[in-house]
């Protein structure tokens, strides 16, 4: 973009110049702008291109699509699913008409797991579209939703995974509603992003977040869909037990919340380092 603009500006300069020095003086600001444009282009665009080249092209990505779904039989009895198990909500809606009654469902974890477990080489990317409406006052310990990674054995020990697993969750950070990263055993508790600047009752928010689990590097990252930037990476994602994805949707008395898995890619067989999604 900047490159194009600069080139156009350069070409509109008159070609036949009687006195190049006078011209240069007259156009010193354009020339300066051009030089700045070139420098900015080199500084901003080139590293971006280098980073992108290590990620598959849009067309190539099609080959890596896999269908990640919420696991119906694990889903807590307070939650509802869509027919195709891609939407999880804490209330009955047209889109989520299915309450879950199953002998293996979670009793403590107010959520479910993904239908794909991790191996030591898994590299999975998926995008979540969320929406919530705040119906009543939320204190700072009331959770909105969580996307986490946890041991399959430990997951039902608690209502969320932040204390024993690796969690990105949304809650009331007093002056705003924010996304936070938590890993209990390393005392990680970091504010990652403001999700809505209004934290009052009646707030309705929708958004998208990308998540990347790279078991090769033992990392779990959250990616901002607006800027395609990695917002935060939880490291040392290691466990002796089977690890899985955890999705929690909380406080149905205070919130109407919905999570939808938009798409997912399995890059396990690809030697990528960076994700620009
Ligand atoms: C979030 O917490 C602050 C401080 O306790 C409170 O003033 C605000 O009303 C809360 N927001 C909601 C939506 O409950
Ligand atoms: C927040 O509200 C919950 C009920 O939703 C309550 O159990 C908890 O004690 C409250 N926490 C604080 C810090 O007030």
The domain limits of the chain are 2-54, 60-266
pLDDT at 251: 97
Radius of gyration of the chain (CA): 24
Kindly write down the DSSP assignment for every residue of the chain, as one continuous string.
-HHHHHHHHHHTS-S--S-HHHHHHHTHHHHHHHHHHHHHIIIIIHHHHHHHHTS--HHHHGGGB----B-GGG--TT-EE-TTS-EEESS--SS--EE---TT--SSSSEEEEEEE--TT-EEEEEEEEEEEE-S---TT-EEEEEEEEETTTGGGSSSSTTTSEEEEEEE-SSSEEEEEEEGGGTEEEEEEEEES--STT-EEEEEEEEEEETTTTEEEEEETTTTEEEEEE-----SSPEEEEEEE--TTTEEEEEEEEEEEE-TTS-------
Residues with CB under 6 A from ligand 1: 134, 137-138, 172, 174, 199-201
Cβ–Cβ under 8 Å, residues 261 and 69: yes
Prediction pTM value: 0.78
Residue nearest ligand 2's atom 8 by CA: 141
Ligand showing the shortest atom-to-Cα distance for residue 174 = 1
* Spans of the chain below 70 pLDDT: 1-61, 272-277
pLDDT at 20: 45
How many Å lie between the centroid of ligand 2 and the Cα of residue 140?
A: 8
Q: Is the C-beta atom of 142 inside 6 A of ligand 2?
A: yes
The predicted structure's pLDDT at residue 58: 52
The residues near 68 (Cβ < 8 Å, ≥ 6 apart) are: 114, 115, 116, 124, 126, 245, 261, 264
Is residue 141 lining ligand 2, measured as CB closer than 6 Å? yes
Specify the residue for token string 């607006």: 226
For residue 6, the model assigns a pLDDT of 33
- CATH code at 60-266: 2.60.120.920
């Amino acid at each position: 973009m900047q490159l194009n603009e600069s080139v156009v500006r350069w070409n509109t300069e008159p070609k036949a110049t009687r006195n190049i020095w006078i011209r240069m003086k007259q156009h010193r600001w354009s020339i300066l702008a051009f030089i700045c444009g070139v420098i900015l282009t080199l500084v901003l665009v080139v590293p971006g291109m280098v980073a992108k080249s290590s990620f598959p092209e849009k067309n190539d990505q099609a080959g890596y699509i896999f269908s990640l779904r919420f696991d119906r039989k694990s889903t807590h009895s307070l939650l509802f699913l869509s027919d195709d198990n891609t939407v999880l909500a804490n209330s009955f809606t047209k889109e989520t008409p299915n309450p879950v009654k199953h002998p293996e469902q979670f009793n403590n974890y107010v959520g479910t797991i993904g239908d794909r477990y991790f191996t030591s080489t898994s590299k999975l990317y998926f995008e979540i579209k969320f929406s919530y409406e705040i119906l009543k006052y939320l204190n700072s310990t009331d959770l909105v939703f969580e996307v986490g990674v946890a041991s399959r054995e430990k997951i039902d020990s608690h209502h969320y995974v932040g204390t024993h697993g690796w969690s990105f969750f949304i809650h009331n950070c007093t002056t705003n509603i924010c996304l936070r990263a938590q890993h209990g055993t390393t005392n990680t508790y970091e504010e990652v992003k403001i999700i809505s600047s209004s934290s009052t009752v009646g707030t309705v928010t929708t958004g998208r977040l990308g998540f990347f689990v790279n078991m090769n590097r033992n990392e779990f990252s959250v990616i901002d869909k607006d800027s395609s930037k990695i917002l935060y990476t939880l490291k040392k994602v290691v466990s002796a037990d089977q690890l899985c994805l955890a999705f929690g949707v909380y406080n149905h008395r205070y919130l109407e919340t919905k999570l939808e898995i938009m798409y997912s890619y399995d890059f396990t067989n690809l030697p990528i380092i960076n994700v620009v999604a």
